[in-house]
Amino acid sequence: MKLRILHLYPKEMNLYGDHGNILSIVKRCEWRGIKAEVVVHEPGDPIPDDIDIIFGGGGQDSNQNTIEDDLRAIGPKLKELVESDVPTLVVCGLYQLFGEYFQTGDGNKIEGIGILDLHTVAGKNRLIGNVVVDESEFGEIVGYENHSGLTRLGKNVRPLGTVSKGNGNNGDDELEGARYHNCIGTYLHGPILPKNPRITDFLISKAIERQTGQPAKLARLNDTAETRAHKVASTRP
Ligand code: GLN
């Protein structure tokens, strides 16, 4: 068994440890004897068909601008993969651009690829700090946010969870993130996966199920370090 992980724009879209999400997926595969190969996507590269997991991180407004044209070019292919249930995690900057658009604070409209039914408009203040999200199938989720964009969800996505600390999508409807097929969009950096290993295992399980056509039975791992990291993050002010 081998899983191929597509890492979108690691140079341009990588904030607050987002790259650690790739390490988390690779390690939790390797610890179970599953081979994991990372396929890096930079502007101009083609998107291969045999992709098992997609990941994309956050970025400054200027970097979102840099990748806008390439993202639009690969958008239809990414949409096809997401809608064929490829497990996908997009954080902050790419979460916004998997939606319809991001209107930045200086009035620039960066077009998204419309996979997720949501749109984002910059607010006056940045939303910065630690976040705790409840009421999701993953239990409590912890992370760190830093964004100007305020995201509103449409009818075709459901939220990842409800915020009990921090702001999440916009700071007023208490919602955080979005889900569509096996795609998770979230504002949480930190990075999110090492401290929330149930989400990592969700991505790995769905990838195996898609490849084999059978339910995945993942071996249990010793999550002592992950649980401690989670607790520390959840008690931060
Ligand atoms: N530039 C976007 C914003 O400020 C995304 C930031 C991020 O990825 N952390 O909203």
Ligand 1 centroid from CA 171, angstroms:
15
In the chain, the largest separation of any two C-alpha atoms, in whole Å, equals 49
pLDDT at 192: 98
Mean pLDDT of all residues in 16-24: 97
Ligand 1 nearest-atom number relative to CA 57: 8
Mean pLDDT of all residues in 85-107: 98
Binning pLDDT at 50, 70 and 90, where does residue 9 land? very high
Binning pLDDT at 50, 70 and 90, where does residue 136 land? confident
Active site residues: 92, 189
Which residue from 18, 19, 92 has its CB within 8 A of the most atoms of ligand 1, so it is best to mutate? 92
pLDDT at 191: 97
Q: What is the CATH number of the domain that holds 152?
A: 3.40.50.880
What is the pTM for the complete model shown?
0.98
Mean pLDDT of all residues in 188-198: 97
Ligand 1 centroid from CA 104, angstroms:
9
- Does residue 226 carry a pLDDT above 90? yes
Nearest to 52 by CA among 81, 26, 76: 81
7 lines ligand 1 (CB under 6 A): no
Q: Which token pair is 60?
A: 């400054």
Count of domains observed in the chain:
1
Mean pLDDT of all residues in 129-152: 96
Binning pLDDT at 50, 70 and 90, where does residue 237 land? confident
Cα–Cα distance, 208 to 1 (Å, whole number): 8
Contacts of residues 67-70 at CB distance under 8 Å and 24 or more positions apart, as own/partner, are: 67/9, 67/12, 67/13, 67/43, 67/97, 68/97, 68/110, 68/111, 69/43, 70/9, 70/43, 70/44
56 lines ligand 1 (CB under 6 A): no
Using only C-alpha atoms, the chain has a radius of gyration, in whole angstroms, of: 16
Q: Strands 101-103 and 35-41, how do they pair?
A: unpaired
Q: Domain containing 186: what range?
A: 2-235
Mean pLDDT of all residues in 107-119: 97
The one-letter code for the residue type at 166 is: G
Cα–Cα distance, 112 to 119 (Å, whole number): 9
